[in-house]
Amino acid sequence: MIAVINYGAGNLPNVTRALRRVGADLIVTDQPDLIRSAHAVVLPGVGATADTMASLQQLGIADILPDVVAAGVPFLGICVGMQVLLSESEEFGPHPCLNIVPGTVRRLPDSAGKIPQIGWNQIQIAPSFRNHPLLNDIPDGADVYFVHSYYCDVTDQSIIAAHTGYGLDFPSIIIRDRLAAVQFHPEKSGDYGLRLLANFVAWSGSSGRAA
């Protein structure tokens, strides 16, 4: 069973619908105990990191997520669900995040042009990750859909599974052990987005009848 975390994220219905479409056995929940006992966890997200952290803390979810990841539970963060994994964010002033992945969430540079980045852009897959099961049947240069003004400046460059150019090269996918996160929205990214979600379901062993 995949626990899809419900803390009020606007993309929750679309993420849930996409996961069900690819055969996920899932539950949508805001209960820390259910998240702890799940076989895999998905953290969706849109909006600001500070608001997301406040919601996760209020629900008691922020306290358990580091333990869930440390226990090796397959985990997928999406967009802001990726950003809050980092140590801190500079969005609307510095503030701490979950500190699961060392690094800082920073604003895209003005040289990128229009901010936020809204629309399709390519992911460049790192050679060392091209055979990773999460990226099965997803080609280097695949187009996916982004909506964001901030990016993840991660400390450990070896976890960057793919990067994307928009004013600078930023991590669009990170993978570390059983933890994965994407800056783009797979639920809006057509066939390649659905393929990534299907790969996550297979990777986590959580396929079956959707609840």
CA 66 to chain centroid: 15
91 is catalytic: no
SS3 content of the chain, % helix, strand, coil (to 5): 30, 30, 35
97 is catalytic: no
152 is catalytic: no
Structure tokens at 19: 């996961």
Choosing from 132, 148, 163, 187, the catalytic residue is 187
How far CA 207 is from CA of 43, 56, 78, 91, in Å, comes to 18, 26, 19, 36
Q: What whole-number distance in Å separates Cα of residue 124 and Cα of residue 137?
A: 14
Beta strands in 72-191 (DSSP E): 75-78, 86-89, 95-96, 101-107, 117-122, 124-125, 143-148, 150-154, 160-165, 169-176, 179-182
Choosing from 79, 91, 132, 148, the catalytic residue is 79
- Written as one letter, the residue type at 8 is G
Question: What does residue 166 show for φ and ψ, rounded to 5 degrees?
Answer: -160, 85
Choosing from 132, 148, 163, 185, the catalytic residue is 185
So which residues are the catalytic ones? 79, 185, 187
